[in-house]
């Protein structure tokens, strides 16, 4: 009888989410607020975007209240590790380098990165629909990268400081081009629109807002879609390593949101295409 009651109690406990089991009521989630449509500040001063909508949905599923705060990109990981907030949701790619400092949930989004260059440079034609996964580069992909390096030789390229794109840009073009790092994507956009740099590398969807707006009339996508390598397997929630209960709760909520189509719907809302990953088998 006692064993049966104990078994029922254990089943009931494991049915709770990890966050419910530890009785957290509020989670503070940091985002940069400067990388639309991932995260941005609207005309009323509110944080909005894909990350905010997904974060709100995940918090609903794990039965906690979400509070979003903005945090400069350069200091976002150190601020998490010292306890300034509980998690990061800011289009942050899961990489081995970052995993040395923090843990990540399973991916809640995919995506790719691309160059944008000034139209007046008269660069050689490029295939903007080609796809290169830098985790495994074959001979054909290597030839495309070689052509890009020749085309961008002597150019000045902008990139967000402390981002994976900065590391990739230096790795691929650091020997042939001048790399200029920026504290925000907005400042990079301003310099590109003003002709102070020749182009830059960033997440495709971050570029879309710029290229589709009036400031992007003089610039266009250039070269293949780039993914993998230093960008890792996708975008995840950044969490302190010791918060294993929170990690488990986010993983389950993300997987449930993928399975029932919620993340797909939010992807279509903010990006126009489905960038949600596959559910865990």
pLDDT of residue 20: 46
Q: Do the domains 2-110+235-271 and 113-231 sit in the same CATH topology, yes or no?
A: yes
Q: Where is pLDDT greater, at 225 or 6?
A: 225
Is residue 132 scored above 50 in pLDDT?
yes
pLDDT of residue 21: 42
Where residue 19 falls among pLDDT bands split at 50, 70, 90? very low
pLDDT of residue 22: 52
| All structural domains of the chain with their residue ranges | 2-110+235-271, 113-231
- On average, the pLDDT of the chain sits at 90
pLDDT of residue 23: 67
pLDDT of residue 278: 76
pLDDT of residue 232: 87
Q: If you average pLDDT over residues 78-102, what whole number do you get?
A: 95
Where residue 279 falls among pLDDT bands split at 50, 70, 90? low
Can you give the pTM of this predicted structure? 0.75
Topology of domain 113-231 in CATH is D-Maltodextrin-Binding Protein; domain 2 (3.40.190)
Summarize pLDDT for 139-150 with one digit per residue, the tens: 999 999 999 999
Is residue 264 scored above 80 in pLDDT?
yes
188 conformational bin, left if phi > 0, alpha if psi -120 to 50, beta if neither: alpha
Where residue 12 falls among pLDDT bands split at 50, 70, 90? very low
Summarize pLDDT for 36-57 with one digit per residue, the tens: 999 999 999 999 999 999 999 9
pLDDT of residue 214: 83
Where residue 276 falls among pLDDT bands split at 50, 70, 90? very high
The CATH architecture of the domain made up of 2-110+235-271 is 3-Layer(aba) Sandwich (3.40)
Percent of the chain with pLDDT over 70: 91
Summarize pLDDT for 153-198 with one digit per residue, the tens: 999 999 999 898 999 999 999 999 999 999 999 999 999 999 999 9
Three-class SS of the chain = CHHHHHHHHHHHHHCCCHHHHHCCCEEEEEECCEECCCEEECCCCCEECHHHHHHHHHHHHCCCEEEEEECCHHHHHHHHHCCCCCEECCCCECCHHHHCCCEECCCCECCCEEEEEEHHHCCCCCCCCCEEECCCCCHHHHHHHHHHHHHCCCCEEEEECCCHHHHHHHHHHCCCCEEEEECCHHHHHHHHHCCCCCEEEEEHHHHHHHHHCHHHCCEEEEEEEEECHHHCCCECCEECCCCHHHHHHHHHHHHHHHHCCHHHHHHHHHHCCCCCCCCCC
Is residue 255 scored above 90 in pLDDT?
yes
């Amino acid at each position: 009888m006692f064993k049966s009651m104990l078994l029922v109690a254990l089943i009931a406990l494991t049915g709770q989410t990890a966050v419910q089991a530890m009785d957290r009521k509020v989670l503070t989630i940091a985002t940069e607020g400067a990388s639309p449509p991932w995260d941005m500040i609207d005309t009323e001063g509110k944080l909005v975007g894909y990350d905010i909508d997904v974060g709100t949905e995940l918090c609903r599923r794990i039965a906690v209240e979400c509070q979003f705060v903005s945090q400069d990109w350069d200091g976002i990981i150190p601020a998490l590790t010292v306890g300034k907030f509980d998690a990061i949701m800011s289009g942050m790619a899961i990489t081995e380098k970052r995993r040395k400092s923090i843990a990540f949930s399973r991916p809640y989004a995919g995506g790719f990165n691309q160059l944008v260059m000034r139209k007046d440079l008269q660069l050689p034609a490029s295939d903007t629909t080609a796809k290169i996964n830098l985790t495994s580069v074959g001979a054909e992909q290597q030839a495309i990268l070689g052509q890009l390096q020749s085309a961008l030789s002597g150019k000045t390229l902008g990139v967000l400081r402390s981002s994976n794109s900065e590391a990739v840009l230096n790795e691929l073009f650091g020997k042939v081009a001048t790399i200029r790092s920026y504290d925000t994507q907005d400042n990079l956009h301003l310099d590109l629109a003003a002709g102070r740099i020749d182009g830059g590398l960033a997440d495709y969807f971050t570029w879309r807002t710029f290229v589709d707006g009036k400031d992007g009339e003089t610039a266009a996508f250039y070269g293949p879609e780039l993914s993998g390598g230093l960008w890792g397997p996708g975008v995840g929630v950044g969490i302190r390593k010791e918060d294993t209960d929170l990690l488990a709760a986010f993983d389950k909520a993300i997987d449930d949101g993928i399975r029932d189509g919620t993340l797909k719907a939010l992807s279509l809302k903010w990006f126009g295409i489905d960038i949600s990953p596959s559910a865990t088998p």
